[in-house]
Amino acid sequence: MTERTFSIIKPDGVRRNLIGRIVGRFEEEGLKVVAAQMKRLGRYEAEGFYAIHKERPFFGELVESVTSGPVLLMVLEGENAILKNREIMGATNPADAAEGTIRKLYSQSIGENTVHGSDAPETAATEIAWFFAQSLVG
Ligand code: ATP
Ligand code: MG
């Protein structure tokens, strides 16, 4: 089933010049970039995006980190795009991430884990609509 997911290359990835390698990896694995925008997130945007985590002890750190520099926001499309993107990213904590995943290859800590990817169809739809036009949800 062709579906769409939402991806962010977080500030630590942009800062370390990883955009090309990460987008290249998505493309090699059959995910197509159908929308993209580079920007620095404002506090309101970041807090809204991560609202599901607002009671978590790391929420402040999370918002600080994702607003610390520009990010690349993307809508990716492909066969089973949501799960495929999660597999390419690897586990949340890079210490637990499988060999060859983006987080294993490039991430330094759980707080700076280089990429975000939607975890389910509902979150993909909400996240795409939060940053892009509703019509891009697909
Ligand atoms: P993402 O939503 O960014 O794709 P995820 O779904 O793998 O990551 P979540 O549980 O949704 O993980 O957590 C969202 C983000 O919050 C993580 O990517 C990570 O940057 C940060 N985070 C999660 N747990 C911690 C923690 N214990 N300490 C610091 N930051 C954390
Ligand atoms: Mg998540």
Mean pLDDT of 127-133: 96
Alpha-carbon dihedral angle through residues 50, 87, 69, 13, given to the nearest 10 degrees: 160
Q: How confident is the model at residue 21 (pLDDT cuts 50, 70, 90)?
A: very high
Q: Which ligand is nearest to the CA of 57?
A: 1
Cα–ligand 1 centroid distance for 62 (angstroms): 8
**Ligand 1 pocket by C-beta < 6 Å: which residues?**
53, 58, 61-62, 92, 110-111, 113, 116-117, 119
pLDDT at 58: 97
- Percent of the chain at pLDDT above 90? 99
The 10s digit of each residue's pLDDT in 26-84 is 999 999 999 999 999 999 999 999 999 999 999 999 999 999 999 999 999 999 999 99
Give me the pLDDT at residue 138, please.
81
Residues near 138 by Cβ (< 8 Å), separated by ≥ 6?
3, 4, 77, 128
d(CA 112, CA 90): 13
List active site positions: 116
Centroid of ligand 1 to alpha carbon of 32 (angstroms): 24
Residues 109-124 have a mean pLDDT of 97
pLDDT tier, 111 (very low <50, low <70, confident <90, very high otherwise): very high
d(CA 79, CA 82): 9
